[in-house]
């Protein structure tokens, strides 16, 4: 029997989800994510990118400013709504609807595959990694919440998180080893990692003070806490034998 399609990006592509990142604190959170991804992409200038589950539009503008050709893959036509302004300009941004776990593209169709805000909401996350690796010529960039972080308190704090965010969902925590093993099975090796926040993102949303958040995260980085316990982790994997 065919497994049911997984469509968590329909929610992350919604205006309701985008409200989690409203205001100065939300903009600060997204800037850190965008900068980390764009730094990893710097070695492939003008790359062709497929952003799987990227209808949230969190990376679209940054990828285009970096000179990339961007295809956003969403699981439904509704996932194009938040990236409509970029689509309307034509040229280097397009949208396609398809199955997140059976991407409608040929092998190595893009220089780099990117996917953020997706893996922790998929049951068959390892299948998603295999598909990202299949369509990527050079590299894949993903993010995931680390089990080696304060995210391990999520079950105890889920009620508070829901009150703050309004629409939070349960999500999976990952050991970095298991993500690396899934990529290794697809012929990809780790080539970079950027832990985003030592403190939970929900705390920064509650503070609503980016200057204070920067100070706190800077202190955590200075004493090594972010390097070892930061989450979510943005990770770069390259085809084994590629540039490290």
pLDDT tens sequence across 145-183: 999 876 655 555 555 555 555 556 678 899 999 999 999
What distances in angstroms separate CA 165 from CA 19, 130, 233, one per listed residue?
A: 9, 31, 21
Segment 132-143 shows an average pLDDT of 98
Residues 6+ apart with CB under 8 A from 96: 71, 72, 73, 74, 104
- CB distance 84 to 18 below 8 Å: no
Q: What are the two backbone dihedrals, phi and then psi, of residue 96, each rounded to the nearest 5 degrees?
A: -135, 145
Query: How large is the average pLDDT for residues 219-228?
Result: 94
CB atoms within 10 A of CB 233: 20
> 103: which 2 tokens?
């991407």
In words, the CATH class of domain 9-146+170-197+231-238 is alpha beta
| pTM reported for the whole predicted model | 0.91
- Closest C-alpha among 234, 164, 156, 241 to residue 195: 234
Give residue 127's pLDDT: 98
What confidence category does residue 1 fall into, taking pLDDT thresholds of 50, 70 and 90?
Answer: very low
């Amino acid at each position: 029997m065919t497994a049911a399609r997984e469509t968590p990006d329909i929610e992350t592509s919604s205006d309701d989800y985008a409200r989690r990142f409203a205001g100065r604190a939300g903009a600060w959170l997204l800037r850190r994510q965008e900068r980390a991804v764009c730094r990893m992409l710097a070695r492939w200038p003008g790359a062709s990118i497929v952003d799987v589950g990227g209808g949230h539009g969190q990376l679209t503008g940054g990828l285009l400013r970096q000179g990339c050709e961007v295809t956003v893959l969403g699981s439904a036509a509704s996932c194009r709504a938040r990236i409509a302004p970029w689509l309307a300009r034509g040229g280097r941004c397009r949208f396609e609807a398809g199955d997140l776990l059976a991407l409608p593209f040929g092998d190595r169709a893009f220089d780099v595959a990117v996917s953020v805000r997706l893996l922790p909401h998929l049951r068959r996350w390892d299948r998603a990694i295999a598909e990202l690796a299949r369509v990527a010529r050079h590299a894949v960039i993903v993010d995931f919440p680390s089990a080696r972080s304060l995210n391990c308190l999520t079950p105890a704090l889920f009620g508070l998180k829901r009150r703050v965010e309004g629409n939070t969902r349960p999500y999976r925590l990952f050991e970095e080893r298991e993500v690396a093993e899934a990529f290794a099975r697809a012929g990809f090796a780790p080539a970079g990692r950027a832990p985003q926040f030592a403190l939970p993102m929900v705390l920064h949303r509650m503070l609503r003070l980016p200057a204070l958040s920067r100070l706190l995260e800077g202190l955590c980085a200075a004493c090594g806490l972010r390097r070892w316990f930061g989450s979510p982790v943005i990770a770069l994997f390259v085809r084994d034998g590629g540039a490290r």
